[in-house]
Amino acid sequence: MVQDLGYLKESPSQTAGPYVHIGCTPNFAGITGVYDTDLGTTMVNDRTLGERITVRGRVIDGAGVPLKDALVEIWQADAAGLYNSPSELRGTADPNFTGWGRCPTGAEDGVFTFETIKPGRAPYKDGSRMAPHITIWIVARGINIGLHTRMYFGDEAEANAEDPLLARIEHRHRVTTLVAPRDGSVYTFDIHLQGEKETVFLDI
Amino acid sequence: MSDLSNNKPETGAFFQRDRAWHAPALTPGYKTSVLRSPQKALLSLDGTISEITGPVFGHSLLGELDNDLIHNFSKPGESAIGERIIVHGRVLDERGRPVPGALLEFWQANAGGRYRHKKESYLAALDPNFGGCGRTITAEDGSYRFRTIRPGAYPWPNGVNDWRPAHIHFSIFGHGFAQRLITQMYFEGDPMIWKCPIVATIPDKSAIEQLIASLDWANTIPMDARAYKFDIILRGRRSTLFENRMEGN
C-alpha cells in the first residue's frame, strides 16, 4: 500500500440541453424581469483600447445545419495581450475591456455575433509569443461536454506561422479551420462539429 | 495579507481532464449527439495563459432574489408552486480546495416538468409564478445555496418513451476558463435516474453518483423546506512552485 493521493474527481459534464438559454441568457429566452441584462452581452465601452472588430459565425452540425440552441462563449486578451483576470500577473489589463463574451445562437439563421477588439499577443510557456487568438467554448443540446477551440485571425499570417498551438496540428490542411477570414472589420468563424471541415477542438 | 493566505492568484496549469470519466462525444443512445459529436481526435495541449486565466464576477452583480427561484419571477405576494427545497453545497477543485467567487447559474423545469421556453411542447401547465433561472456566487469557503421548488420529471423526444428524471442544470465558472463546466444535479432516491439516456452517456456509475444530491436532513428547515446537498468539483491546478518561469516575466 502507498499513501492515497486524496484527489477528488471532476464533476462529470452533462449536456447543456435544449434550454441553456433559460439559464444563461434568460432575457434572450423571453424570461424578463429576473436579471437586468444577460451576462456577456457587452465586452467593450467607449474607452476600450484597441481596434474594434466583429466576430460572427455559426455552429454547424454533421448534416450542414446551423445550431439554433447553442451557447458560445469567448475569452480573449486585451489589445496589449493582457487578460482581465486575477491570474494575470504580467500587468493590469484594460479595465474597459471584460475579455469575456457570451452569445446564444438562437436567431433564425443561427449566427452568433461578438462586438469586441482585436487582442494582442500573449506568451506561450517557453517565452515565445502566441499569435493573436480568441478562446472559444461551445455548449448545446447533443454536446455532452463543452467544446474548446480557438479562433485565429486571417490577416495575421506571419504570427500564425509561428504560433505554437497551430504548429502542433499534424494535418496541415486543418489549420485553416481555426483561421477566420477578414472582410472589413468583420471576421467570420464557422465552427463545424463534424465532417470534412471539422474544426480542430482542443483538450486543453 | 499574510503569505499563508489562499487568496493569492494562482497561475498553475490545470490537471488534465480525465476524458474516460466524462461522457464521450458520441453516445448514440442520446440521439442528438450523433450529428453534433466531433469525430476527429482532440488536440491535447498543456494549458496556456489563455485557459489558465478566466473572467471574474463580483458579488455586486447579484440581485436580492437571484438565488430564490420561488420568488424571483413571481408576482408580489405570490410564490411558485411545488415542493420547497434548498440546494446547497460547496465548489471545490480536485485538490479539495474551496473555489471562492465561482459564478453558478442554474435553470430547471417547474414542478410539473414544464420549461418556460417557446420551443417547449410538453402539455404540462406553466406556472405563472415560476421563471426557472437563478444564480449565485460562492463564498470564501466555496459554499453556495439557493432556494427553489423541486422540478418535475418530463418526457422528451428521443426514444418513444424516454423521460428525464427530475434535475437542475448548473453552469459553473471557476478561476480559469479551462474549468468551465456545465452539468446537471439529480435527486437522491429517484429511480428514473437509471433509465435516462442522457445520464447513461456517463460511462462510470460512480461518476453518475457524483451528480446525485443527498437529502440533507440536518439542514432541512422544519415546517418550511427540505435541503439537498450538492458539491461540485472543478479541475485542480498544479502548484507553480517548480514551474519554469516565462522569459521576461
Q: Over the stretch B5-29, which tens digit does the pLDDT of each residue have?
A: 455 677 889 999 999 999 999 999 9
Nearest residue to A34 via CA among B184, B71, B157 = B71
Give yes or no for a contact between A61 and A137, defined as CB atoms under 8 angstroms apart: no
Of B118, B184, B207, the CB nearest to A30: B118
B133 CA to centre of own chain: 12
Chain B touched by A61 (CB under 8 Å): yes
% of chain A at pLDDT higher than 90: 97
A-chain CB neighbours of B169 within 8 Å are 14, 16-17, 19-20, 23
Amino acid at A200: V
Chain B touched by A194 (CB under 8 Å): yes
Q: Is the ipTM of this complex over 0.90?
A: yes
- DSSP conformational letter for B19: T
- DSSP conformational letter for B111: T
Question: What is this structure's pTM?
Answer: 0.96
Has residue B247 got a pLDDT over 50?
Answer: no
Q: Give the phi and the psi of residue B210 in degrees, each rounded to 5.
A: -70, -15
β-sheet bridge partners, residue B147: B68, B86
- Whether B167 is a known active-site residue: answer yes
B198: Cβ contacts below 8 Å, ≥ 6 apart: A14, A15, A17, B30, B164, B184
B247 vs B159, which has greater pLDDT? Answer: B159
Whole-angstrom Cα distance, residue A122 to residue A125?
10
Query: What is Dmax (Cα atoms) for chain B?
Result: 62
Q: pLDDT tens digits, residue range A85-125?
A: 999 999 999 999 999 999 999 778 999 999 999 999 999 98
- The highest-level CATH class for domain A20-192 is mainly beta
What residue has cell string 440546494? B87
Spell out the domain ranges in chain B.
67-229
pLDDT, chain A, mean: 97
Nearest residue to A130 via CA among B179, B175, B47 = B47
Cross-chain Cβ contact A86/B9 below 8 Å: yes
User: Which spans in chain B are helix H?
Assistant: 49-52, 205-209
Cα dihedral A186, A187, A192, A196 sign: positive
Cα dihedral A113, A114, A115, A119 sign: negative
pLDDT band at B174 (very low <50, low <70, confident <90, very high): very high
Nearest residue to A198 via CA among A182, A169, A174 = A174
> Which of A 36-55 lie inside 8 A of B, CB atoms?
36, 39
Task: Tell me the nearest-neighbour CA distance from A98 into chain B, angstroms.
Answer: 7
Give yes or no for a contact between A201 and A145, defined as CB atoms under 8 angstroms apart: no
Of A35, A75, A200, the CB nearest to B63: A35
- Whether B145 is a known active-site residue: answer no
Spell out the domain ranges in chain A.
20-192
pLDDT at B196: 98
Of A17, A145, A202, the CB nearest to B169: A17
Give yes or no for a contact between A29 and A16, defined as CB atoms under 8 angstroms apart: no
* Interface with chain A: mutation pick from B33, B35, B64, B110, highest number of A CBs within 10 Å: B35
- DSSP conformational letter for A22: H
B217: Cβ contacts below 8 Å, ≥ 6 apart: B227
3-class secondary structure, A59? strand
Cross-chain Cβ contact A193/B201 below 8 Å: no
Q: pLDDT tens digits, residue range B29-71?
A: 999 999 999 999 999 999 999 999 999 999 999 999 999 999 9
- Whether B164 is a known active-site residue: answer yes
A-chain CB neighbours of B119 within 8 Å are 18, 69
The CATH code of the domain at B67-229 is 2.60.130.10
pLDDT at B4: 43
pLDDT at B5: 45
